[in-house]
Structure 1
Amino acid sequence: MTAPASPAQDRSHPLYLEDFAVGDRIRAGRFTIAPALAHDFAALYDPQPMHLDETAARASLFGELVGSGWQTLAVTMRLMVDARLLGTTPIIGAEFRELRFHRPMRPGDTLTAEAEVLAARGSRSKPELGFLDLRVRTFNQDGAELLTQTWTLVVPSRSAASTPPS
């Protein structure tokens, strides 16, 4: 794994809803899926023949051994955490939707990911919080898109965080 690409914003402190604008992009570093890691993940969480057995995988829809889509999702999350998507603020998901697997991850692939801000809005019921909608895309080393998804994250609001209690 390598460090994330240089972010346009300092991510060494908490980020708030107001720190994001529609169109902002956060690029993650890279993570290589070693064949043994792909096998071990599949054996634990997605034990299907196309992930574990080369002979069976050749006879599958894919025609070769492929990694688990669930592992692609997990590595995408790891890449976003390592990129400090929200600075030092934890990534807390409210909703994940529009999940699409475009092509399989293959053992040995090196993945990267990118998040684009689609919307930022305050919470009506909790003014100290807001919601950040992101389009998250995962790519392999050739730039082929493997996965797309939309995340809605719960993010603290700076305006409410700076308001003294009454």
Structure 2
Amino acid sequence: MTVFFEDLAVGDTFALDSYDVTESEIREFAEKYDPQWFHTDPERAREESIYGGLIASGWHTTAMTMRLLVDGFFADSAALGAKGVDELRWRRPVTPGDTLTATIEVVDREAERPERGLVRLSIVTTNDADETVCSMLADVLFARRER
């Protein structure tokens, strides 16, 4: 069932599936987009970093969250794209072997035009210890069923 603007109400929540984080993926993403040593060099990260080992880039954590959002929610919705993200925070480092899950809560909605509405979503990503690793507020456009 496709989710349209009218199907979403403030307070609605959605729990999304999981995503398994691997060391190779952390290193590959970091080599391409954020090549800081604590993302790319496991030995040095283990010996010298304040994290005690290799961690994913916050941008990678956000990208993995986006994967969860698309697979678990946006793919079956009338989402038209986002206007932006506020209050993006990386609360805890993500490490190889972590399993991430995400939840969405509708915190606001407004009919912008006859053909679309704007929905503010609170998105929280957690690890398998149920610790928040990433949070953000996203403003997402959804097509309206009624025009």
TM-score by structure 2 length?
0.92
CA RMSD of aligned residues (A): 1.4
Q: Is the 8 A contact 2:20 2:99 kept in 1?
A: yes
**Cα distance in 1, alignment partners of residues 70 and 142 from structure 2:** 14
Instruction: Give the 4+ runs in structure 1 shifted more than 3 A.
Output: none
Matched residue, 1:152: 139
User: Does residue 60 of structure 2 align to residue 62 of structure 1?
Assistant: no
Residue segments in structure 1 that go unaligned for 5+ positions in a row? 1-12, 161-166
**Cα distance in 1, alignment partners of residues 27 and 80 from structure 2:** 28
Identity %: 34
Structure with the largest fraction of helix = 2
Structure with the largest fraction of strand = 2
1:78-127 CA distance string (max 9 Å, x none)? 1011112462424511111111111110011111100000011100xx22
- 1:56, distance to aligned residue in structure 2 (A): 2.7
Please identify the structure whose Cα radius of gyration is greater.
1
Q: Match for 2:23 among 26, 35, 42? A: 35
Residue correspondence of structure 1 range 90-109 to structure 2 within 5 A: 90=79, 92-109=81-98
- 1:55, distance to aligned residue in structure 2 (A): 3.5
Matched residue, 1:138: 125
Residue segments in structure 2 that go unaligned for 5+ positions in a row? none
Cα distance 1:17–1:90, how it changes in 2: closer, same or farther (>3 A)?
closer
Residue correspondence of structure 1 range 7-22 to structure 2 within 5 A: 13-22=1-10
Matched residue, 1:8: none
SS of equivalent residue, structure 1 residue 141: coil
Q: Is the 8 A contact 1:15 1:86 kept in 2?
A: no
